[in-house]
Amino acid sequence: IAGITQAPTSQILAAGRRMTLRCTQDMRHNAMYWYRQDLGLGLRLIHYSNTAGTTGKGEVPDGYSVSRANTDDFPLTLASAVPSQTSVYFCASRGVVDTGELFFGEGSRLTVL
Amino acid sequence: GQNIDQPTEMTATEGAIVQINCTYQTSGFNGLFWYQQHAGEAPTFLSYNVLDGLEEKGRFSSFLSRSKGYSYLLLKELQMKDSASYLCAVLDSNYQLIWGAGTKLIIKP
């Protein structure tokens, strides 16, 4: 089934631990995005990649890093998790940057204690 | 700064019509999107407007006025399954999406 796969779907993590959220798409979309969604704040862009080999910072990049070694994969890493990073994380992709709709993964619910 | 405003919550009755408004102030404009998000799920695409006017798609319609920085999503013949959050997002001059906080729509029988 074509689409975006995120893993894990849910995780409880101790503060200070390193965590990587995985995201894989099979639609050959060039652009990929990581958002976090918190109650009352809507979706906030963490990092993005317009094409394989390039990445950029979004609205809330601090404490997060990404890589884009190939078209399909776009992992998000929390180097040292803090409780304020408790959130739902969505990976998304877009085939046409200037007009195309975003396709979202099912989300990863992360709790940092 | 960039800003998108939409009501936090709305309540409507099954079978009725509801209009969800969205106003925006962004650096440039390359289109406006509406997404639907059911609780615990990912957002899904509803509509895209780049020119002024009304776009109709079944029970859902979306309107855009670029001069007023205003859009609305119109939902007709409301069904219980329409209970969800509705997200307004604007594509800015850098082709990045700026998101509103979403409107939670509650449908009552």
Q: What's the rounded Cα separation, in Å, for the pair B96 and B84?
A: 24
Cβ proximity of A51 and A30 under 8 Å: yes
Tell me, yes or no, if B100 comes closer than 8 A to chain A by beta carbon: yes
User: What is the signed CA dihedral for B77, B81, B82, B85, rounded to 10 degrees?
Assistant: 170
Rounded to an integer, what distance in angstroms lies between the CA atom of residue B15 and that of residue A44? 34
Task: Measure in Å the smallest separation between the Cα of A80 and chain B Cα atoms.
Answer: 26
A97 or A43, which is more confident: A43
Chain A residue numbers touching B96 (CB-CB < 8 A): 45, 48, 58
Quick check: A1 pLDDT over 90?
no
The predicted-structure confidence for A83-104, as pLDDT tens digits, reads as follows: 999 999 999 999 876 667 899 9
Instruction: Kindly determine whether residue A45 and residue B97, on different chains, have CB atoms separated by under 8 Å.
Output: yes
Does the beta carbon of B5 lie under 8 angstroms from any beta carbon of chain A? no
Confidence class for position B42, pLDDT limits 50, 70, 90: very high
Give residue ranges of A with CB < 8 Å to any B CB: 40-45, 48, 58, 90, 97-99, 101-107
* Distance separating alpha carbons of residues A73 and A68, to the nearest angstrom: 6
Q: What residues contact A99, with CB distance under 8 A and at least 6 apart?
A: B30, B31, B48, B50, B91
Mean of the pLDDT values across residues B101-108? 97
Residue B4: the pLDDT is 95
